[in-house]
Structure 1
Amino acid sequence: MSVQVNIMANGRMSLPAGIRKRLGLEGGGAVLIEETADGVILRTVSQAVARAQAIAKKYTDHPDASVDAFLASRRSDSGE
């Protein structure tokens, strides 16, 4: 879904009420803006946390996910 949002001279913009409602921002709240090569991504804080947790889970769902295992691997890779 694409919606045009105008940016005021002072840099403010207003999210349409329907989008704020779907995102759980009816009473206000914080959002994170990520600039990418393709444009801008707007996420709620809870969406950003969930995304970070999903990324971290990829690296912790195996037996060698401990800090000690990581450091041992780094030492091995560097020849220590």
Structure 2
Amino acid sequence: MKAVVLPDGSVSLPATLRERHGLTRGGEVLVEDTGDAIVLRTLDQAVARAQALSRRLVAGQAGASVDDFLAARAGDTGAE
């Protein structure tokens, strides 16, 4: 698909892309410069990507889950 860079520097995305990804007027995207490309992600896409990366990084590591963290915190006495 083709997008247009307007004279003021804004980019006009095709309506089909905006609709498919839930981008309405005033919707925000994150812009990533990968060095050889520009990647646009919705905030939901960026969160999902970060969550997937986190899951891969801690997979199989004991004590790495949120439940493990909360259990450890519940065991803290607060004494220093």
Moved over 2 A (4+): none
Is this contact kept in 2: 1:17–1:26, CA < 8 A? no
How many residues are aligned here? 64
Aligned residue for 1:52, secondary structure, equals helix
TM-score norm. by structure 2 comes to 0.69
Aligned-partner SS, 2:12: coil
Instruction: Work out the CA distance in 2 between the residues paired with 1:4 and 1:16.
Output: 7
Alpha-carbon distance, 1:4 to partner: 1.7
TM-align CA RMSD = 1.7
Taking structure 1 as the reference length, the TM-score comes to 0.69
Among all aligned residue pairs of Structure 1 and Structure 2, give the percentage whose two residues are the same amino acid: 45
State the match for 2:76 in structure 1. Answer: none
The aligned residue for residue 23 of structure 1 is: 21
Residue in structure 2 matching 1:38, options 36, 39, 46: 36
Deviation track 1:33-64 (CA, whole Å, cap 9, x = no partner) reads 10012211111000000000111111222215
Task: Give the match's secondary structure for 2:17.
Answer: helix
* SS of alignment partner, residue 58 of structure 1: helix
1:49 maps to 47
Question: Does structure 2 retain, via aligned residues, the 8 Å contact 1:59–1:65?
Answer: no
Tell whether 2:33 aligns with 1:5. Answer: no
Q: Give the 3-state SS of the residue equivalent to 1:65 in structure 2.
A: coil
1:65 aligns with 2:64: yes
- Long gaps (5+) in structure 2: 66-80
